[in-house]
Structure 1
């Protein structure tokens, strides 16, 4: 969901040379140290109490893992302002050392790669960071509803799940067997987290604990709490449980407004495959902040309006035909939650595909022309100030162009393929091939190259690793048109469409001048509607 203003990026010598400094803290947070890669998380089991008055958390997280390399030390993450009370393994406390937000845990003897599950229990407490402008900066959100009752949420994408619980805070490792989230809140309130509701227990101390379980792998930043005096609306669509948790005064409004979920699911399942988390159900949970793609518990805060906070992101009017937050954040269930980037530098794998899913939804309901109008309307939101991909290993998100430029890259690829039947089959296969998998940009490129039978590497490189979009230089003289691509990437090749009157020609353009004969003096136009390109006439 989140849109960030970028750090500037350099990658493998391919991108601009604008300097960016990173620190030891950045590499601990975003890197792949031995203490991180030596173990694989199997599941998390959170059991915490949240005190709204104190804005505090206390409790523990059980981290179950397997060692994949012999080690005596592992890294877990928890923000410095949160206190580690103790870490227990086999009934005994472990030694640990903190460095910034990293917690290095030492075991009494080396842990062998023996295939067995090992569990540490991390007791912790403190006041988590509060978001000043959620969801754009990470943290907890402590608000009250119209009746003055607590209304609490959390959004930490980019900032990190370790903001509020001990975790291996890296997208490179999701718990293979999900998580349980048990949250005690004051009596009279409800907590809604990811997955299925497993029951509640009155603790006889003024608090009631609400238990949830996720059975699918889950991004750590997706694990969530939502605390309020909610009412529950249940529905079902083609065997999938749909559950909505909203404030009481919005119950009737929500029942009508969320009917949009059903055609959305029909569309996305047709184009991207079955809903990836059917065993955990689908939920929308009303939040005081705008929204976030929390897996199987999507945060919804668009106030039951069409568009994006009541406006149209595309500027075409088409964006007012649907609720942006419902469609976009639910699109993340396929792209971001199911298919996850290993490093946050490749976050375009989440945001580019999900932003593209908006125009896919428009096409499903209103047709190709409306979808093209919508996605082309997003061009004005592309800044081209810095590359999409960030620095690897330092928790760098790259440019906000990952959203609209990423989506327009996919639209460009569709029209390079120039065969819609092949395109939709390709996109479906991509979604199904990498379902519940963690990948990187090179994996995406290799897949598209293989499935199209075309070397698209230079195309991906230009759009992702450089700030400039391809520039088509054109010269028209007498009855001849000359053209070439100006790009940062060498050996760039991509089709162009030349239009003259009612006739059009599709030609392959490269970095070298090519020519095309025309038969009359009618104006010559080049199509930039199907492609994200710049055209310069000489």
Structure 2
């Protein structure tokens, strides 16, 4: 991803030790924004006037020249009367023409936004379509997915290995679309033409392969579910394919793997070890895999990883270089971090998608927290908690996790590990693991294949838990500092209070007398005695294992 948003040093995420990964991601947030940022991030009437139903992206890759050309059909329903709309395509790519009912439409461009005018009124509730023809040299990403663009690489045998990655800057960096997370097409056809000696893998299911008789083959992939723009992926290489299946909550789920031939034996062992256990764990915690119709795929890529829906990009240790990061607990077996983390995004990120990039924590906090739930399901709760705790060391607390809305801005990289700590804290407050599991599954059912806001997620968890958790979420996500529990002896009694910025912050917390059982107490912003017989400054223990907080103790 680009240096302006260097909050996500993804290469560090995947190729460094867990305790320090988040610190490496963090940096100062951008707080001033340009007209280009607003055009990209704001859902103006020129974008909200139409609701996407279907895309047909048809693109040809000239790999030697690093050149692409093709078209995208926009099929939509009008949400209001209009004669003008906006779509998005980076300015370095040419618009060859825009066709509407066999007419070529006029258009204007401003930064990476494109404005088209229709010859007649498009009436509310009507269904219509237009096609954008385009070509050019897309941004080349040298350090994907930290940088957005197209990766042009070669495998160890010298064959081309090409892949797309565009989460931060958006999909319009390589194809024309309405580049806003709030609107996803209900389905999509992805047609990619590549040199005939190579294969191409995209999202969804392969419908057909056509020999174009000009040295190219076209691969047609159909996505039968809604999909966010940055998840649309192209992967081109000298792939070999093998498959399997998993019997899950909705029946048979196809598992397809596309890897380079010299990694086939290793992939068969590693994928078999990791994929089915994680699917079993995540279906237990989150509900059915959200895309049975499109299947589950891992596709080898020349960069570490990306959560492309139903076609997860997998670099891992198979690409050579630094050893792939593994998930585990002391004395336990090791599991592939890339597969475990990116697969969690099929539920949080792909099934449930944030409406605005400023709420990307909905993807990454839950995705990171899922790693510990995977460990817990395999072993026990204590193992999952140990894994979570090990991730604290790298949290920087130097930026806001929720970024400004409507300007295509991401929040602090603390959204990964600190976000996971927040969710574990909420689980502890709820104090009912079956209720917590029902909330996680309920989120994926209530917002199945939908885009969501901060308020929707927080309100749902509060409502289902029976507690107002909004101040808790606000403190951890909208402020960079931790809440601090201050203990003080007043009039011979041990008192406590919360020091926090979030309005009405009164998070319940567990304390105990040394050697005893935990009890909940309910501090507020004002000092009040701790209502627990026999407790003192000398014998109090605060549950700092399950609560990620600051603590001020009185001098003894």
Bin of the TM-score, shorter chain as denominator length: over 0.9
Indicate the residue corresponding to 2:229 in structure 1.
220
Query: In 2, distance between residues paired with 1:397 and 1:263?
Result: 32
Indicate the residue corresponding to 1:474 in structure 2.
487
Indicate the residue corresponding to 1:24 in structure 2.
35
Closer, same or farther in 2 for the Cα pair 1:281/1:445, shift >3 Å?
same
Indicate the residue corresponding to 2:22 in structure 1.
none
User: Among residues 398, 402, 416, which one is paired with 1:385 in the alignment?
Assistant: 398
Query: In 1, distance between residues paired with 2:327 and 2:138?
Result: 33
Partner secondary structure for residue 147 of structure 2:
coil
Query: In 2, distance between residues paired with 1:216 and 1:71?
Result: 27
- 2:181 is equivalent to residue 171 of structure 1: yes
Contact 2:401/2:415, CA 8 A, preserved across alignment: yes
Residue by residue, what CA displacement relative to the aligned partner does 1:276-303 show, whole Å, maximum 9, x if unpaired? 0100000000011000000000000112
- 2:545 is equivalent to residue 532 of structure 1: no
Indicate the residue corresponding to 1:300 in structure 2.
314
Partner secondary structure for residue 350 of structure 1:
helix
User: Among residues 95, 100, 108, which one is paired with 1:89 in the alignment?
Assistant: 100
Indicate the residue corresponding to 2:17 in structure 1.
none
Residue by residue, what CA displacement relative to the aligned partner does 1:96-143 show, whole Å, maximum 9, x if unpaired? 000000000100111111x33211111000010011211111011000
More displaced 10-residue stretch of structure 1: 241-250 or 446-455: 446-455
Contact 2:325/2:338, CA 8 A, preserved across alignment: no
Indicate the residue corresponding to 1:415 in structure 2.
428
Shift of 1:520: 7.5
User: Among residues 71, 80, 84, which one is paired with 1:73 in the alignment?
Assistant: 84
Query: In 2, distance between residues paired with 1:422 and 1:470?
Result: 25
Contact 1:286/1:300, CA 8 A, preserved across alignment: yes
Contact 1:2/1:135, CA 8 A, preserved across alignment: no
Residue by residue, what CA displacement relative to the aligned partner does 1:363-417 show, whole Å, maximum 9, x if unpaired? 0001101100111111112111111100110001111111111111100000000
Contact 1:42/1:64, CA 8 A, preserved across alignment: yes
Query: In 1, distance between residues paired with 2:40 and 2:228?
Result: 15
Closer, same or farther in 2 for the Cα pair 1:5/1:18, shift >3 Å?
closer
- 2:152 is equivalent to residue 142 of structure 1: yes
Closer, same or farther in 2 for the Cα pair 1:302/1:97, shift >3 Å?
same
Give the root-mean-square deviation of aligned CA atoms.
2.2
Partner secondary structure for residue 284 of structure 1:
strand
Give the TM-score taking structure 1 as reference length: 0.94
Indicate the residue corresponding to 2:166 in structure 1.
156
Contact 2:199/2:237, CA 8 A, preserved across alignment: yes
Residue by residue, what CA displacement relative to the aligned partner does 1:30-85 show, whole Å, maximum 9, x if unpaired? 00111100000111101111011000100111111111111100101000000000
Closer, same or farther in 2 for the Cα pair 1:205/1:501, shift >3 Å?
same
Partner secondary structure for residue 441 of structure 2:
helix
- 2:134 is equivalent to residue 133 of structure 1: no
Query: In 1, distance between residues paired with 2:48 and 2:325?
Result: 44
Residue by residue, what CA displacement relative to the aligned partner does 1:440-462 show, whole Å, maximum 9, x if unpaired? 00001111121111111111111
Query: In 2, distance between residues paired with 1:377 and 1:476?
Result: 33
More displaced 10-residue stretch of structure 1: 472-481 or 437-446: 472-481
Query: In 2, distance between residues paired with 1:520 and 1:198?
Result: 70
Indicate the residue corresponding to 1:283 in structure 2.
297
Indicate the residue corresponding to 2:341 in structure 1.
328
Indicate the residue corresponding to 1:12 in structure 2.
none
Shift of 1:490: 2.9
Closer, same or farther in 2 for the Cα pair 1:318/1:89, shift >3 Å?
farther
Which structure 2 residues correspond to residues 102-251 of structure 1 after superposition, within 5 A? 102-113=113-124, 115-176=125-186, 178-238=187-247, 239-251=252-264
Give the TM-score taking structure 2 as reference length: 0.91
Query: In 1, distance between residues paired with 2:54 and 2:394?
Result: 39
Which structure 2 residues correspond to residues 3-18 of structure 1 after superposition, within 5 A? 5-6=6-7
Shift of 1:326: 0.2
Shift of 1:519: 5.7
Closer, same or farther in 2 for the Cα pair 1:521/1:415, shift >3 Å?
closer
- 2:448 is equivalent to residue 435 of structure 1: yes
Closer, same or farther in 2 for the Cα pair 1:309/1:476, shift >3 Å?
farther
Partner secondary structure for residue 526 of structure 2:
coil
Closer, same or farther in 2 for the Cα pair 1:346/1:521, shift >3 Å?
closer
Query: In 1, distance between residues paired with 2:53 and 2:47?
Result: 14
- The count of aligned residue pairs is 525
Query: In 1, distance between residues paired with 2:330 and 2:356?
Result: 35
Shift of 1:497: 2.0
Query: In 1, distance between residues paired with 2:441 and 2:47?
Result: 33
User: Among residues 449, 453, 469, which one is paired with 1:456 in the alignment?
Assistant: 469
Closer, same or farther in 2 for the Cα pair 1:103/1:317, shift >3 Å?
farther
Query: In 2, distance between residues paired with 1:510 and 1:519?
Result: 18
Shift of 1:522: 5.5
Partner secondary structure for residue 218 of structure 1:
coil
Shift of 1:506: 2.2
Contact 1:495/1:508, CA 8 A, preserved across alignment: yes
Indicate the residue corresponding to 1:11 in structure 2.
none
Query: In 2, distance between residues paired with 1:446 and 1:304?
Result: 42
Gaps of 5+ in 1: 8-16
- 2:510 is equivalent to residue 510 of structure 1: no
Contact 1:150/1:227, CA 8 A, preserved across alignment: yes
